[in-house]
Amino acid sequence: MAEQEIIWLSTAEAARRLGITSRTLYRLIDEGQLPAYKFGRVIRLREGDVEAFIEASRVEPGSLGHLYPEPAQRSDEG
């Protein structure tokens, strides 16, 4: 079984792919939501981990109803 070559991304590349700031990326790493690796003073992320994070973040249809609630009925409307 041949191992696939690991493609490493810099934090700037990973943040760009995710469409987030570097600060947000570091928070995701620090919270354990996105695995990262430190080689000396350099932090790198595996491309596969970033892609897996993107897929895991997919929004399920019908799960956003709380963002557009029905307007409250006024008691004098009938």
Query: Residue ranges per domain, the chain?
Result: 8-57
Residues 41-64 as b or e (16 or more Cβ within 10 Å = b): eebbbbeebbeebeeeeeeeeeee
Residue keyed to tokens 């029905």: 70
pLDDT digits (tens, 9 = 90+) for 30-56: 999 999 999 999 999 999 999 999 999
Residue 36 is which amino acid? A
- Residue percentage of the chain with pLDDT more than 90: 73
Alpha-carbon distance of 16 to 14, in angstroms, equals 5
Predicted confidence (pLDDT) at residue 73 exceeds the cutoff of 80: no
